Amino acid sequence: MSITRRNLMVKGSMLSAAAAASPFALAADPIKLGSLLDTSGDFVGYGKPMDMAADLAIDEINHAGGLLGRQVKKVGYDTQSNMALYTKYAQQLIREDKVDVVIGGILSASREAIRPLLHRANILYVYTPLYEGGVCDSDMLLTGTTPAQQAEVLVPYVMKKWGKKAYILAADYNYGQYMAKWFQKYLKDNGGSAVGVDFFPLTVSDFNSTIAKVQQAKPDFVMSALVGGAHLSFYRQWAAAGMKSKIPMASTTLGIGNEQQVLTAAEGNGIVIADNYSPELKSPANTAFREAWGRMYGGDVKTINELAVSHYQGIKLWAEVVKRAGTLNHDKVVAAMAGVSIEGPSGKVTIDGQTHHVTLDVHVMEMLDQQLKELKSFPQRPPSDTQAVCNLYKNPNSSIQYEIKI
């Protein structure tokens, strides 16, 4: 078939008309969002709902026209609760997939395994779980609670309720070790003390000897920062030993993975927690979110938890930052972060430009009949612990996790 100058002109005119009629008709390649989550392994109970939240957020963004006239595509890997796979897949996202942003990581250990790699590659990293605070990295957006947002209100609340002596139980990695120090600080600040502190590897599931030690120490209450499926055994063994009626308990980690639904009412009732989100929150944004989740996942909203919501909000915040920047250029996206805000399922969430953490609401809640009953709310708490050590306005190239002096 011969192609004449006239044919080319006609075809060019037709393409131009089509582009004018549909701004997305000639859109560029999709924006690649890299995802690293434990969708199998020991932490699948956390990772799977987070992955579902990512799919929902991306679906909503794309149905609203995408970002910058482009669709968002998830490039995801199952890290199988294996730190070595976090490093491997992070390198793959950087070198082979050439993603525009990475979101993921659950434990602080997984975050610190990949954060330096992404910083060197100049790729924005969105980390969404609650954590121990102190990360000061210009290439990050962190949407989970820190100790000054969560533990700082929980500890004095339960001290007024139960007494001044606490026994601390925590996971034996950086989150648990830091949180034990924060618990001791907030106990001391409010005239209390820790009568015991114990750490447990993430695989430990037998707590009978520990329960005997706690009983012997006679604290007014237990403060728990235990993590994961194996550690969930502690709460069951505690109840089975008849301890729930003798020594009350508070936790910064229980409930973030919907443990109130996994434990029976007899095992969970009365445990007090502090979180940014509860499925029972009454707000138009949470109602709309739950309805959207139900439509996407066959009506099942029981999988929604704090970690899933924080993950969803992290992606939505990133999208708003990109819209403000008007580009995917790394430096311009980072410069556009400060003050970006969304009204998410958990309430208003706003990026703090000094730390790239967020200001958000925190609720002290009690487990009751496999639900979370709100006891007191603390609106719009800033990440003041990390603000004490991190100033990205003054040090825009920072990439460090500070051990905050407590």
How far apart CA 254 and CA 226 sit, in angstroms, is: 8
Q: What is the pLDDT of residue 228?
A: 87
| CATH number of the domain to which 323 belongs | 3.40.50.2300
Q: Which of 146, 58, 183 is nearest to 356 (CA)?
A: 146
pTM of the full predicted structure? 0.90
Residue 266 lies in a domain: no
Q: Is residue 106 in some structural domain?
A: yes
Mean pLDDT confidence for 357-383: 96
Same domain, 130 and 189: no
Please name every residue paired with 381 in a beta bridge, in sequence order, or none if there are none. Answer: 360
Residue 141 shares a structural domain with residue 284: yes
Question: Domain count of the chain?
Answer: 2
Same domain, 287 and 396: yes
Residue 77 lies in a domain: yes
Q: Do the Cβ atoms of 334 and 137 come closer than 8 Å?
A: no
The reply to whether 91 and 115 lie within a common domain is yes
Q: What is the pLDDT of residue 350?
A: 98
Q: Is residue 263 part of a domain?
A: no
Q: Is residue 79 a contact partner of residue 42, using CB atoms and an 8 Å limit? A: no
Q: Tokens at residue 343, please?
A: 């009204």
Do 172 and 246 sit in the same domain of this protein? yes
SS3 string of 214-275?
HHHHCCCEEEEECCHHHHHHHHHHHHHCCCCCCCCEEECCCCCCCHHHHCCHHHHCCCEEEE
Sequence length of the chain is 406
The two three-digit tokens of residue 10, written as one number: 């006609």
Q: Determine contact, residues 336/349, Cβ cutoff 8 Å.
A: no
Whether 236 and 300 map to the same domain: the answer is no
Gap between the Cα atoms of 254 and 238, Å rounded: 14
Do residues 138 and 157 share a domain? no
Residues 122 and 170 in one domain: no
Structure tokens at 384: 């003041």
For residues 285 and 139, state if they share a domain: yes
pLDDT in tens, 6-15: 443 443 444 3
Identify the residue whose tokens are 């005119």.
13
Residue 317 lies in a domain: yes
What would the pLDDT profile of 97-115 be if each residue is shown by its tens digit? Answer: 999 999 999 999 999 999 9
Tell me which residue range forms the domain holding 207. Answer: 151-251
Q: Is residue 124 part of a domain?
A: yes
Same domain, 212 and 309: no
Look up residue 191 and give its two tokens: 């005239």
What angle in degrees, to the nearest 10, is found between the helix axes of 108-120 and 83-92? 20
The closest of 147, 153, 148 to 190, measured between CA atoms, is 153
Q: Are residues 138 and 53 in the same domain?
A: yes
Whether the CA torsion 174, 279, 46, 334 is positive or negative: it is negative
Distance CA 37, CA 26 (A): 32
Whether the pLDDT of residue 22 is over 80: the answer is: no
Residue 235 included in any domain: yes
Same domain membership, residue 141 and residue 289: yes
In a domain, 193, yes or no: yes
Domain boundary among 214, 231, 251: 251
Predicted confidence at residue 369, as pLDDT, reads: 95
Q: How far is CA 182 from the centre of its chain?
A: 19
Give residues with Cβ within 8 angstroms of 295, minimum separation 6.
none
CA distance 338 to 318: 12
Paired with 103 in beta bridges are 35, 126
3-state secondary structure of 391: coil
Mean pLDDT of the chain: 92
Predicted pLDDT at 21? 39
Tell which of 230, 251, 272 closes a domain: 251
Task: Give the pLDDT band of residue 124 (cuts 50, 70, 90).
Answer: very high
pLDDT in tens, 202-217: 999 999 999 999 999 9
Two tokens, residue 89: 């897949």
